[in-house]
Structure 1
Amino acid sequence: MKKYFFAVLLGAVVMVLLSGCGSKEELALDSKHKELPDFVQNAKAEVQEAYIMAATYPQALASVPCYCGCYEQDGHISNLDCFVDGMDKNNAVTGWDSMGVA
């Protein structure tokens, strides 16, 4: 009986651990933002996630300087500028930049 109980307990623990590790949060663009443009929607899933993350957490990207050399050409100051072209006072994206796809 003890062996059976131990096997069931071990199986339950493994299932709980696997279910916790296997769940992946689905990212979705908030409706307050301008719809993602075709150049993002036609890109890889990782690129789409990066644009959604830029819209969701703009303060994180705004704190990272841009080193790709687009400052001279486009005036980019932070990594946020490589994804977002404009935001309103409520931090809703009003325009997207194509540099994040490159």
Structure 2
Amino acid sequence: MTFEAPATSNLISSGVTMFHRIPLLMFLTAAVALLLAACGGGKATPANPIVLAPESELPPALRDAPAEVKEAYRFAIANKELLQQIPCFCGCVGVGHTSNYACYVAEDGGPGNVIQFDSHAFG
């Protein structure tokens, strides 16, 4: 009875060992991960983008105001319903403000009519 040595596999005979496969597997995993990340890189559009009124709706006194002040008034004009639900929190309830909207708008003439702005939030 003779025993023959098992045949060596082609991978071992070609010099590819388990130690060579691990870095290759790590490289391929990283490459696939990068490829998947690159495919999903589109910018997401917010579900509720911030709406601002045009700057032309601001009164002349606000045209030279800092950008943050103009942006706050533009937001107030465009988002009346939202700001009317937020209570005034700056302590101006004593001057008759019932909501955050009142800090920006003294009198709203309705759609298409002139808005009288409150200077309280000018800064």
TM-score bracket, normalised by the shorter chain, equals 0.5 to 0.7
**Equivalences, count:** 92
**How far apart in 2 are the matches of 1:81 and 1:54?**
9
More helix by share: 1
1: CA distance, partners of 2:112 / 2:81: 10
Superposed CA offset, 1:42-84 (max 9, x none): 1111211111111111011111111222221x21111101111
Once the two structures are aligned, what percentage of the paired residues are identical?
Answer: 31
SS at match of 1:95: strand
Q: How well do the aligned residues superpose, as a CA RMSD in angstroms?
A: 3.4
For structure 1, the residue ranges without an aligned partner over 5 or more in a row are: 1-9
Structure 1 segments (4+ residues) deviating >4 Å: 10-13
Unpaired segments ≥5 residues, structure 2: 1-36
**Structure of greater Rg:** 2
Which of structures 1 and 2 has the larger relative contact order (alpha carbons within 8 angstroms, sep 6+)?
1
Normalising by structure 2, what TM-score? 0.53
> Is the CA contact (8 Å cut-off) linking 2:106 and 2:117 kept in structure 1?
yes
